[in-house]
Structures are given as structure tokens and as C-alpha cells.
Homo-oligomer: A and B are copies of this chain.
Amino acid sequence: MKTSDDQILKAYRLRSTASRSDILRLFVQRGYALSYSDIEKEISSTYDRVTVYRTLKTFVDKGVVHKVLDNEGVLKYALCNDHCSHTEHHHEHTHFKCLRCGHTECISDANIPAVVLPKGYQAREFNLLIQGICPKCE
């Protein structure tokens, strides 16, 4: 059975396997960034830990997901959207973490205005983490 997840995998030239489909589906369904342990909670009974680790690494390498940094230093992963996938030319990322529900999502249409850096610093890439209250928790 082909699902839309498999379409995504195919688009990234990844073999379509059960674990990849399931993990990918989890990202799509949730819509926010997931940490390794978030994923493990859902599917560790189904798939081996190692498989989850390797799947995430593969996804990052191929650009299916990207790393997101939580305020507490927890590494999470989020689906890449049109702005960040396919090209390596995106130089900024904004993520929003809700202080109530704790979910982190990509904010692709929030441009980071120019930042004035001290003399001598050359900026190449921007990563902004905004914390606050999301619409659902308001």
C-alpha cells in the first residue's frame, strides 16, 4: 500500500520501508518537532531503538527533517518544509516553542530582520528560537 509518506520517501530517493513510513507519518500527523524519545515512546515496541536512531540520521542527512534546538538543550527534529528542503540555500530558520504545551514548530514565514553585529563578525546563517504562547494554548 502506497501512502503519501511513501511519496515523500521516494521524492528524497529513500527506500520505502515500514519504519521510515511510520516515523515519517508521525511527523506529519503531529505537525511539531519531535525528539528521539518522543518517537521512541510511540514506536519502540514496533521498531528497534537502533533503527529509530538510524532512520533519524538518514532523514537529517537527506534533508527530510532538520534539527531543532529546544530551549532546554533537547535536540528535536522537524519536517522540512518547502523553504528548507531540496536546497541548501536557506540561511535562516525560525522556530516557535509554546511555553504551555511545549510543542515546537517551524515558522517559515517569519523573516528575521537584519541584526546589527559588532564589527568584524560576518553572519552566514540565522537560527531563531522564539518562546511564547501558541494560538492553540492562548
Contact = CB atoms under 8 A, between A and B. Distances in A.
A31 to B, nearest CB: 14
A123 B117 contact: no
B131 A128 contact: no
Interface stretch (A10-18, A37-45, A71-79): A71-79
A97 B131 CA distance: 21
A44 to B, nearest CB: 21
Interface string A38-73: 000000000000000000000000000001011111
Given A67-B72, A127-B71, A121 B132 contact: yes
A26 to B, nearest CB: 20
**Oligomeric state, in copies:** 2
Given A69-B73, A126-B128, A134 B121 contact: yes
A73 B75 CA distance: 6
Contacts of A32: none
Contacts of A28: none
Interface stretch (A1-9, A81-89, A107-115): A107-115
